[in-house]
């Protein structure tokens, strides 16, 4: 079992107005085999958490820690995080001119494993994963993210997930811009990875829709850079009917 532990995380970002605090003490533990959903209104800091786990240079940790199996994640380079088994879709460049999907995947796999995968089994694995995600085989020869549609980007994310076999995956708004059919295919991919490797998932989403297909064990509601409430899947059902309003309204002074 592996554990990603986020303790009292405070994160700031530099803006025109100076240093702005965005995360104000986030504590969260994700074990392999568990699925955690982070939900919350726009601007509450969900993506900031994902970028901070990914090691994006724009975000500064001012307090708290992130460890993976006891090792200091914040001291790791982006590559070291991937090698340790933490998968972050957004760590990869938006477009990689001249690099095909197939070469990109092989390079990433080689970097993570420390040696190149055996060509025959690898080619077979890639084909099968693409077939499972209903991806045209021609897709493998396209340049990474060049002219990809929203849906293709998401499928490419899940293709990486299935082939790179991380221990923990952080998926930020994987559901955004997907129609129901694509959402089902992408969700099936995540569920396959969960079953095959006991993947731990940190699923960040504004909407409850994806949680019908990827059932969370735990739901955390993030508001203003903090976890405002935690619960099981029933909390997602409540958010679906009630929305986030009650987290945003000022406390009732009379009670």
What is the contact surface with ligand ADP in residues (CB under 6 A)? 13, 15, 22, 40, 42-48, 58
Q: How far is the CB of 102 from ligand ADP (least distance, A)?
A: 32
Q: How far is the CB of 126 from Mg ion (least distance, A)?
A: 30
Site map 211..240 versus Mg ion, x via CB under 5 A = -------------xx---------------
Q: Can you tell me the distance from the alpha carbon of 44 to that of 176, in angstroms, rounded to the nearest whole number?
A: 17
Q: Decide which of Mg ion, ligand ADP, none touches 90; Cβ closer than 5 to 8 Å per partner kind.
A: none
3-state class of 255 per DSSP? coil
Between 135 and 186, CB nearer to Mg ion:
186
Closest C-alpha to 6, from 215, 162, 222, 217: 222
Q: How far is the CB of 22 from ligand ADP (least distance, A)?
A: 4
Q: How far is the CB of 171 from ligand ADP (least distance, A)?
A: 13
The Cβ of residue 243 has, within 10 Å, a number of other Cβ atoms equal to: 12
Q: Decide which of Mg ion, ligand ADP, none touches 58; Cβ closer than 5 to 8 Å per partner kind.
A: ligand ADP
Q: Decide which of Mg ion, ligand ADP, none touches 48; Cβ closer than 5 to 8 Å per partner kind.
A: ligand ADP
Q: Can you tell me the distance from the alpha carbon of 5 to that of 71, in angstroms, rounded to the nearest whole number?
A: 10
Q: Can you tell me the distance from the alpha carbon of 63 to that of 59, in angstroms, rounded to the nearest whole number?
A: 12
Q: Decide which of ligand ADP, Mg ion, none touches 77; Cβ closer than 5 to 8 Å per partner kind.
A: none
Asked if residue 98 lies in contact with residue 43, where contact means CB atoms within 8 angstroms, the answer is: no
Q: How far is the CB of 13 from ligand ADP (least distance, A)?
A: 4
Q: Can you tell me the distance from the alpha carbon of 217 to that of 70, in angstroms, rounded to the nearest whole number?
A: 23
Q: Decide which of ligand ADP, Mg ion, none touches 224; Cβ closer than 5 to 8 Å per partner kind.
A: Mg ion
Closest C-alpha to 28, from 236, 231, 227: 227
Asked if residue 87 lies in contact with residue 79, where contact means CB atoms within 8 angstroms, the answer is: no
Between 41 and 117, CB nearer to Mg ion:
41
Q: Which of residues 19-48 bind Mg ion (CB under 5 A)?
A: 46-47
Identify the sign of the CA torsion 56, 73, 194, 238.
negative
Q: How far is the CB of 96 from Mg ion (least distance, A)?
A: 23
Contacts of 176 (CB under 8 A, 6+ apart): 150, 206
Contacts of 182 (CB under 8 A, 6+ apart): 151, 154, 155
Q: Decide which of Mg ion, ligand ADP, none touches 78; Cβ closer than 5 to 8 Å per partner kind.
A: none
Contact residues toward Mg ion (CB under 5 A) are: 46-47, 224-225
């Amino acid at each position: 079992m592996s554990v990603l532990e986020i303790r009292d995380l405070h994160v700031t970002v530099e803006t025109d107005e100076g240093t702005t605090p965005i995360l104000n003490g986030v504590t969260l533990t994700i074990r392999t085999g568990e699925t955690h959903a982070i939900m919350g209104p726009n601007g509450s800091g969900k993506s900031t958490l994902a970028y901070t786990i990914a090691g994006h240079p724009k975000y500064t940790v001012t307090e708290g820690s992130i460890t993976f199996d006891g090792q200091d994640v914040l001291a790791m380079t982006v590559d070291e995080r991937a090698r340790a088994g933490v998968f972050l879709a957004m760590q990869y460049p938006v477009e990689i001119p001249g690099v095909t999907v197939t070469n990109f995947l092989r390079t990433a796999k080689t970097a993570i494993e420390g040696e190149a995968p055996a060509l025959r089994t690898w080619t077979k694995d890639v084909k099968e994963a693409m077939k499972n995600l209903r991806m045209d085989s021609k897709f493998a020869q396209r340049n990474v993210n060049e002219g990809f549609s929203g849906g293709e980007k998401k499928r490419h994310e899940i293709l990486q997930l299935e082939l790179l076999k991380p221990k923990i995956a952080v998926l930020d708004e994987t559901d955004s811009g997907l129609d129901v059919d694509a959402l089902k295919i992408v969700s099936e991919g995540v569920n396959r990875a969960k079953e095959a490797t006991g993947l731990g998932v940190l699923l960040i989403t504004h909407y409850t829709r994806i949680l019908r297909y990827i059932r969370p064990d735990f739901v955390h509601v993030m508001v203003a850079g903090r976890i405002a409430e935690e619960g099981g899947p029933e909390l997602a059902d409540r958010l679906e009917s009630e929305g986030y309003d009650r987290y945003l309204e000022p406390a009732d002074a009379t009670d």
